[in-house]
Chains A and B, each alone.
Chain A
Amino acid sequence: MTIQQTESIKIEIFDPPMCCPSGLCGPEIDPALLDINEAVLKIKKDFNGKVNVERYLLSQQGQKFMQQPEVMKRLQTNGVEILPLTLVNGKVMKEKSYPTFDELKKYLGI
């Protein structure tokens, strides 16, 4: 979104395969996807400038998956079932499900 200062914290979420990350283009809305969307929006707002959140889709940003050895290692061992993966500054914090807003906040340690 914005040019980040070097000390900003980077949260990366590697999404499972789906049409779009909002969960709104399938036949029915997935509340889990709306919840993570909401959590990300709130983190961005509350920690504006201090935290950088990115979400990656396997079908559209495969490059990002391949560049992250921690993600590739898990994909190769466990397959797609391991997704979603949440990384903070390159370290895996959560696998198989999305973190809540409170969990995200805890990862940041701010």
Chain B
Amino acid sequence: MNTTKYLFFSGKGGVGKTTMACATAVHYANEGKITLIVTTDPASNLADVFETEIGHKITPLLNNLWGMEIDPDKATEEYRESILSPMRAVMPQSVMVVLEEQFNSPCTTEIASFDRFVDFMVAEKEGKGEKYDVVIFDTAPTGHTIRLLELPVDWSKHIEESAKGEGNTCIGPVASIQKNKVRYDEATRLLGDAERTTFVFVLQPEETSVYETKRSSKELKEIGVKNIELVINGILPGEVCDHPFFKSRYEMHQKYIKIIESDFPVKIRKMYQRDGEIKGIERLLNIEKDLFANSGKQSYSIGNDEITKAVFNNFTADSIDEIIKPNGKTKSIFFTGKGGVGKTVISVATAYKFASEGYKTLLLTTDPASHIGEVLEQHINDKIQKVEGVANLWSVIVDQEKATEEYKQRIIEESKSKYSEDMMIAIKEELESPCTEEMAAFDKFMAYVESDDYDFVVFDTAPTGHTLRLLELPFDYSDQVSLMVTTSQKSQEAKSVTQKRFDKVIARMKNPEKSIFSFVVYPESTPVIEAYRAMLDLKEAGIQTQFVVANQVLKPEYCTNEFFIKRRIMQEKYLSEMKERFQLPVTIMPLLESEIKGIAMIQKASNLLYSKNGKV
């Protein structure tokens, strides 16, 4: 009997990860292998690709092929109900309300989706469920996936350590989660089994994508993953790049392909950008053919209707001048969106605009994959420093790992004098919990949000709705908790100081006069859906998004052949969809002929983004 093979597809949103995962699934199914494709991506478009409803259950897709979309909300609900339902009959309503609220914590959500994910990895060992020859995971975008995959290692270690000490962990008493440890260990073992598990990174021939892939593959190697492959997707076909504008981009792609080939000594497959969206089996087979044929000659036409004449609908970019105009108070502007959509460039261009108008501006990133330094062409680190060549501009990177270390040290220092050695061991043990990291990063982040030293603070990356809910939920009932738990005077004081600080930061982030949230997207299906969901998340935390930036929009005058005409028409479709979905001003950053690097290019980008040029 053959053992199951596991394939993980990873990469940032919008690189074509789902398409490659689906093409691979179809390939194996056509070979007669019983295949399952599972997505843990909340913004999955699996259903779009197969043109059928899938949802949170195993659904037949084709002959030999099944699919499932793990819904984090449903997974959380299942997990919560398994714990709460026996209590409903006896517990008073007021108790149930508090308990239910507690299960809204992001920790629960992560554990719950992860648990469903592990289900598939250990099904074989536990002798449960259908037997598959191939299981394909179309995982969530990079950062989150890595987090998910590190969890078995972290939790397993955390469970083991805690068993020696107090016997309690964030996910429950050690005794009741020992069975999870066995499952997590099995999942981790499978991840490191090169015979059975392959990680496929999908990336684009661009600097950010290369950087992110390097970082992720390094992290994966650290948790024991051995078998890594790459698919370089979205390569511009040379023969359609006759216009000088695209010729320049084509050369840039070729440069990065060479870099990728020399930096990653692994199996690499190369795929052309297509002239249309990949939807339906026929188009999927078109991809599958190239992905597995491994031949030099590839197609780039997806086979949609001939376009004889270019008819463009001009898209009017909305002005956002009113929204971002200075108002005498420190204004924070948060640019958010998935890695690789260009939020760094948009942040830099925005900070440049304010600085060049004479406002004291701080440009800040909390994104570990940020390349602010590369864009500015100077070294930026975790100390605030003046940006060379731009008056009034300062920059800093918030290093999450360092922040976590500092946070741990601070807690240990503060507690050392007050508690016994045994207690310190327990504290240190508890600080190793994965929850600490998120808290630590936000703690650092807050310090900059509170600052009144600048006219503008531009954040390349925003806290997720999850982080904000994490802060609000415990604090909503910490009012009650502080009353009942805390008896001593010193407890009350500590509580109220922290509480005031959190309240102040949260109030500031909710105030549209002081904080502006904006999403950066490409006018394509996945990035738009992802941003929309994130916007709802923020809304739930009480934060209104104020505008959207469509990045990398093709200018009509460059679209002189069929390939680019078709792509421009596709972008137009998503630009109007964006206006409809978000109901917010949508502004535009056109695609430039080369990467944005150096002050001169930043100035050009800033002018394009903020000039009221109207139609593009």
Binding site for B on A (CB under 8 A): 1, 16-22, 24-35, 37-38, 41-42, 45, 55, 57-63, 65-66, 72, 75-76, 79-81, 83-84, 96-98
Contacts and interface: CB of A to CB of B under 8 A. Distances in A.
A97 to B, nearest CB: 4
A40 B480 CA distance: 24
B169 interface: yes
Interface of B: 83-84, 86-87, 90-92, 94-95, 98-99, 102-103, 105, 107, 166-170, 172-173, 176, 411, 414-415, 418-420, 422-423, 426-427, 430-431, 433, 435-436, 439, 442-443, 470-471, 474-475, 477-478, 480-488, 490-491, 494-495, 498, 502
A55 B415 CA distance: 22
A83 B301 CA distance: 66
Given A22-B166, A60-B176, A31 B423 contact: no
Nearest to B487: A97
Contacts of A75: 91-92, 95
Do most interface residues of chain B lie in helix, strand or loop, or is the interface mixed?
helix
Contact of B102 (A1, A29, A59, A63): A59
A62 B87 contact: yes
Contacts of B488: 31-32, 35
Contacts of B94: 79-80
A4 B98 CA distance: 34
A28 B86 CA distance: 32
A19 B171 CA distance: 9
A28 B496 CA distance: 11
Contacts of A62: 83-84, 86-87, 91, 99
A72 B107 CA distance: 28
A13 B485 CA distance: 12
B427 A30 contact: no
A27 B170 contact: no
B427 A22 contact: yes
B102 A27 contact: no
Contacts, number: 153
A34 B99 contact: no
Contact of B474 (A27, A29, A42, A72): A27
A25 B470 CA distance: 11
A60 B415 contact: no
Contact of A81 (B427, B431, B439, B484): B484
A58 B477 CA distance: 15
Contacts of B436: 24-25
A101 to B, nearest CB: 11
A2 to B, nearest CB: 12
Given A22-B166, A22-B426, A76 B92 contact: yes
A95 to B, nearest CB: 9
Given A59-B99, A59-B102, A30 B485 contact: yes
Most chain B beta carbons < 10 A, residue from A60, A79, A80: A80
Contacts of B491: 30-32
B423 A72 contact: no
Given A22-B430, A24-B431, A30-B494, 12 more contacts: A17-B99, A18-B474, A22-B166, A22-B427, A25-B430, A25-B436, A27-B471, A37-B166, A62-B91, A80-B98, A84-B484, A97-B487
